[in-house]
Amino acid sequence: MSLPIMGAPDKKAKKLTVYTIEECVKCKKPDKREFKDGDLVHKILGKCKDCNENIMISLIYGEEPKKN
Amino acid sequence: MIIPFLMLQADALNKAMATFKKNQPIGDAIGPMIVGKLMLEHDKHDIAVDTVYAESDISGRKAILVTAKGPAGTVGQPGNAVQELINKENPSLLIMIDAALKLEGEKTGEVAEGIGAAIGGIGVDKFKIEEAATNSNLPVYAIVVKQSLVEAISLMTKEIAESVDTVHNIINRIIEERTNPDDKIIIVGVGNTIGVIQ
Ligand SMILES: [Zn+2]
């Protein structure tokens, strides 16, 4: 068989938390928060307090929640 | 011996439903995300079913950017779109960006580049693009972001999402090395555009 060996589903796989990264298109200061319904990559959310440029969602991704 | 393989896929598809329901991007959305970012603030035009293109300027070259129309879960028809654009615009370079299957042991989110049409599916789109490119003697470059089959249909991971800037740098480098100012270039972001707008 030439199928890739992938193994069975990992029952212990950790649950990912979905994060949304917002950043101003000019000052590029990223702000990470948890995903909210309606978030879309490249959606414009408002104006930056510092430079009045658009704040855009640059990334949405899943990550293991950090343990403190 | 095929059961674990099927179970893994079934499990991934099952988990993917929650991701699709919330309109969150999946690993395969990396192509539309990379090209979609270049399309922001440019006029988008329909070119095929669920597929849009926009014109932009990259290093003095006319870049024609093609991807599926977000944020719905669709891959569009990149084959038809690219075929039409090659015939109409007569470009001097085609760059395709896609998610690609990694080998066991390879790192997720790793970026690789090469030559040829980077596109999966059942082969119709690949055929159309290769045929049109061959007929007009057009060089085709591929930039791929590596991930597993499961990652490609599951919620996008951090490693995959953070490859965007790396790929943009590679696009700029290829364009500067392989084309002259005022050339036309087609850049295609292949993949499912769920959760990504242009
Ligand atoms: Zn700002």
Q: What is the pLDDT of residues B27-67, one digit of tens each?
A: 999 999 999 999 999 999 999 999 999 999 999 999 999 99
Say if B194 falls within a structural domain.
no
Write out pLDDT tens, residues A14-61.
788 999 999 999 998 899 999 999 999 999 999 998 899 999 999 999
Q: Would you list which residues of chain A are within 8 Å, Cβ to Cβ, of chain B?
A: 1, 3-9, 16, 18, 35, 37, 39-43, 56, 59-63
Range of the domain at A22: 17-63
In chain B, residues with a C-beta closer than 8 Å to the C-beta of A6 are: 4-5, 8, 148-150
Task: Provide the Cα torsion A25, A26, A28, A31; round to 10°.
Answer: -60
Q: What is the mean pLDDT of residues B120-144?
A: 94
Domain count, chain B: 1
Backbone angle region of B2, left / alpha / beta, with phi > 0 → left and psi within -120 to 50 → alpha: alpha
Question: Given the structure tokens 């991704």, which residue do they identify?
Answer: A61
Residue A67: predicted pLDDT: 63
Say if A8 falls within a structural domain.
no
Q: Do residue A62 and residue B156 have CB atoms under 8 angstroms apart?
A: yes
Say if A59 falls within a structural domain.
yes
Query: Is A2's pLDDT higher than 80?
Result: no
User: What sign has the CA pseudo-torsion B39, B43, B47, B51?
Assistant: positive
Residue A1: predicted pLDDT: 47
Q: pTM of the predicted model, to two decimals?
A: 0.91
Say if B167 falls within a structural domain.
yes
Q: How many contacts does A have with B, using Cβ atoms within 8 A?
A: 78
Query: Is pLDDT larger for residue B56 or for residue A65?
Result: B56
Q: What is the mean pLDDT of residues B145-153?
A: 92
Angle of the B78-89 helix axis to the B124-135 helix axis, nearest 10: 10
Q: Do residue B157 and residue A62 have CB atoms under 8 angstroms apart?
A: yes
Range of the domain at B84: 3-189
Say if A36 falls within a structural domain.
yes
Residues 78-97 of B with CB under 8 A from A: none
Say if A1 falls within a structural domain.
no
Instruction: For residue B24, give the nearest of A1, A35, A63 by CB distance.
Output: A35
Say if A28 falls within a structural domain.
yes
SS3 B158: helix
Residues 107-146 of B with CB under 8 A from A: none
Say if B107 falls within a structural domain.
yes
- Prior bond to B71 cis, omega within 30? yes
Q: How confident is the model at residue A13 (pLDDT cuts 50, 70, 90)?
A: low
- With CA atoms as reference, the chain B residue closest to A19 would be B158
Q: How far is it, in rounded angstroms, from Cα A39 to Cα A20?
A: 8
Give me the CATH number covering residue B26.
Answer: 3.40.50.1470
Query: Is B184 in the A-facing interface, judged by CB distances under 8 Å?
Result: no
Residue A5: predicted pLDDT: 53
Domain count, chain A: 1
Query: Is B131's pLDDT higher than 50?
Result: yes
Q: Do residue B156 and residue A60 have CB atoms under 8 angstroms apart?
A: yes
Query: Is A68's pLDDT higher than 70?
Result: no
Taking alpha carbons only, the member of B31, B27, B24 closest to residue B72 is B24
Instruction: For residue B7, give the nearest of A9, A42, A56 by CB distance.
Output: A9
Taking alpha carbons only, the member of B198, B102, B77, B187 closest to residue B152 is B102
Instruction: For residue B196, give the nearest of A3, A6, A40 by CB distance.
Output: A40
What is the rounded radius of gyration, in angstroms, for the C-alpha atoms of chain B? 16
Say if A33 falls within a structural domain.
yes
Residue B62: predicted pLDDT: 96
Instruction: For residue B33, give the nearest of A4, A16, A41 by CB distance.
Output: A41
Mutate: best of B5, B6, B102, partner A, most A CBs <10 A? B5
C-beta atoms surrounding B30 within 10 Å: 31
In chain B, residues with a C-beta closer than 8 Å to the C-beta of A5 are: 104
